[in-house]
Amino acid sequence: MTPEERERADGALAALETARQLRAGADSLAASAQAVPDRIAEAQARRIPSTGDARDLPYRSMAEEVASAMRVSRHVASARLRESSDLARSYPATQQALREGAISEEHVRALLAEGSALAADDAARVAYECECLDVARVSTAPQTRTAARVIADRLLDRDVEQAHAQAKARRRVSVRDLGDGMSELYAVAESTVIRGALDRLTTMGRRVAHAHRTAHQLHTPGGTALGEIRAAVQVMIPVGLMTGEVTGRPRGRPLLEYDQPIGAAEARRLAALTPTWDRIFVARDGTCRFPGRTTMPGSAVRFRDLSATAAPF
């Protein structure tokens, strides 16, 4: 890069940073303004003696007005009113970070969405906000959503093994014929099973890959690729869960490579069947801190990109 090109690039980057901060300030102003109609609608609803649909009328009316002003649908306006109200009432530090330009509107939506399960637990929500903001200030919005999901799951006061057992009862499989000799398979099952199935299909697809295949086609091999191929599933397991050093509810849960929590019993079973382990050092939320990198460390190990991760046991 020539000195003149470096100067032009630096100028463009500075302009982009200014634009980002201005946009964050505008988003903060919009969020503060949108919280006002929601509070007005709430006050109007309390004055309505009846229950049911009648009390929804003030919210729908305000949503219509906001939709007209913002040139969006009423559905979008209603969602923004709820988000802005939640932000103002429950996430003051997040609102301040948005106002300062430290995070974006996309970061805020990620925090609000993943923290909804903590709405009734003030202490957990405060801890969640603090941890998430540490990530959001140095990460992209998708990375923040991934981390927020892991953090919220860790802070939830619930029996995770019981929740997993109840979720397993909702397993199902269905097939939809698409025509032209093609069909769609839809399955809801344990995450280890689904990830293992995807890995097996991908491995089979790579065996017959050629230059004209798309990324999606690599995951869906033809019949000629059927063979004895072992599936691989990447799992991150807290050390204390394996050694028995953790007492009470553990600080972390076993995670598949794409941030999906699994049960402790299933993690131990997989660990017992694994001939080779990799020791991975990651952040507490399980993510890589490099901006733009959204894959979990296990994926890096499997595809031999060791820049962020591992040393074998």
Measured CA to CA, the distance from residue 313 to residue 302 in angstroms comes to 15
Distances (CA, A) of 271 to 145, 160, 239, 244: 27, 19, 12, 14
pLDDT band, residue 57 (cuts 50/70/90): confident
Q: What is the pLDDT of residues 180-195, one digit of tens each?
A: 778 888 999 988 888 8
pLDDT computed for residue 119 by the predictor? 86
Helix (H) or strand (E) holding 236: strand 235-236
Question: Whats the size of the chain, residue-wise?
Answer: 313
Q: What is the pLDDT of residues 1-52, one digit of tens each?
A: 899 999 999 999 999 989 988 888 898 898 889 899 999 998 998 888 876 6
One DSSP character per residue, 63-92 reads HHHHHHHHTS-HHHHHHHHHHHHHHHHH-H
Structure tokens at 16: 């982009």
pLDDT computed for residue 128 by the predictor? 95
Whether the predicted pLDDT of 170 surpasses 50: yes
Q: DSSP state, 138?
A: T
Whether the predicted pLDDT of 122 surpasses 80: yes
